Structure 1
């Protein structure tokens, strides 16, 4: 997004933001919020070392040859994609956010590519590994879309390929939920409110910038291991292993921070 608020592209983005404000329950909240500069400002300090540590462990566990084709599904600005590519893999990063892909594409090279893509759609190219990381699942309002996404992942894998979904451990998150906080980033005070409602975990984000008020609502379905197992069985997916953190240690329902699932 340009810094000049008089451009037509800015007006389009603000219209999208206002639409999100008027209807925060919309099933496409992620399409508007993830495509703003404020999403990236709020989450700019995500731990890259932790991400790289996880990728090292995951690729070692899967024993992927260096020239493997990897799809980073819902890649955002591509921090995992760039690091995976530095390890020697042929990587494609895909995300619904055009702004994220535009930014990520600045890092493209002969074996690193980015594209705008809806995770519910099958890729024509088959991949040796598909990673869906950092709780980038469960955004849809319709449960059928979750199943469609899993089938798309399955159908985008090579015959011997593996997939990984890195999701939050819902029971741990709810137990440790911080209901309210103020996070100051780049001189913007983000007022954050979290709560659980109708089997969704909500995060309401309010702030003021350049004299304008903004409000966005993140909503992620509270999917537990049993929910994934049910969907995977229906999608004819084989769940191979489950881990509870980025060290790939065992999963414990009430103690693990993450729910990491390896399947094919």
Structure 2
């Protein structure tokens, strides 16, 4: 099993990340996902939304353009600057917070929290992932909602491809090697990049715990968040074994 440092998330989200996932981070994908979040959460103009692990702020900016009052929180300061720049270019404002997702510096503040594109399950233990959900619960108003979007573990295992690759428009090839640990439920992925000129280098990988719906519901319950509905994709299909995503909406008690 490939060894990936436990703090992989401090290295992986670099200049390679948006290139590796360029198609899935496109503007069209962002608009589709953001529109789904608005509908699934019943968001209205003026609602306060926290985009937790917001990255470059693509969803945060899209929601701000729809009239929400948005805060983006991320551990990567460079990404937060990109988010602020993107908001300014779109003629909107977002607040940003530079912090680990386990430490959300708000209490009873938000109508909704979103955590998109498998930005959950980063840490070594369930206790640390539970800390994230407890921090989310604390940051939500009573009756506020969490939308948590991850890969569907059942679908991943049914469609597992250990080695894959793709080439971008600039001729760079991205080689992807995956290993799933059936004991820990962690999906470890490493990347090699071959440039158009033929130079090869390694890029940091990621190591994410993929929870089952049963496991995640248990953690949500402990955190004071009750599962409302689970979707299987951004079109709102019901969650099932054969849907690629597991998108849960949970409500604060």
* TM-score in same-fold range (> 0.5): yes
Contact preservation (8 Å) 1:89, 1:111: no
Gapped regions of structure 1 (runs ≥ 5): 1-22
Q: 1:101 aligns with which of 76, 80, 93?
A: 80
Q: Please identify which structure carries the higher helix content.
A: 1
TM-score, L = length of structure 2: 0.87
Contact preservation (8 Å) 2:31, 2:62: yes
Runs of 4+ in 1 over 4 A off after TM superposition: 208-212
- What is the CA distance between 1:247 and its match in structure 2? 1.6
Q: C-alpha offsets along residues 62-97 of structure 1, whole Å, 9 cap, x if unaligned? A: 322201111111111111111111111111111111
TM-score, L = length of structure 1: 0.84
Residue 111, structure 1, aligned to residue 93, structure 2: yes
Match of 1:161, SS state, is strand
Cα distance in 2 for partners of 1:73, 1:48 equals 19
Q: 1:233 aligns with which of 208, 212, 221?
A: 221
Q: Give 1:189-204 correspondences, 5 Å limit.
A: 189-197=173-181, 198-204=184-190
Q: Which residue of 1 aligns with 2:38?
A: 59
Match of 1:37, SS state, is coil
Contact preservation (8 Å) 2:233, 2:247: yes
Q: C-alpha offsets along residues 182-204 of structure 1, whole Å, 9 cap, x if unaligned? A: 22233432221112124211111
Residue 70, structure 1, aligned to residue 70, structure 2: no
- What is the CA distance between 1:146 and its match in structure 2? 0.4
How many equivalent pairs are there? 240
Q: Which residue of 2 aligns with 1:213?
A: 201
Change (3 A) 1:212 1:102: farther
Contact preservation (8 Å) 1:191, 1:207: yes
Root-mean-square deviation (CA), in Å? 2.0
Match of 1:250, SS state, is coil
Residue 144, structure 1, aligned to residue 127, structure 2: yes
Cα distance in 1 for partners of 2:148, 2:192 equals 29
Q: C-alpha offsets along residues 198-234 of structure 1, whole Å, 9 cap, x if unaligned? A: 4211111122569673242211112110110111122
- What is the CA distance between 1:24 and its match in structure 2? 4.4
Cα distance in 2 for partners of 1:190, 1:218 equals 15
Q: Give 1:1-264 correspondences, 5 Å limit.
A: 24-34=3-13, 36-46=14-24, 47-109=26-88, 111-124=93-106, 126-185=109-168, 186-197=170-181, 198-208=184-194, 213-252=201-240, 254-264=241-251
Contact preservation (8 Å) 2:178, 2:190: yes
Change (3 A) 1:163 1:179: same
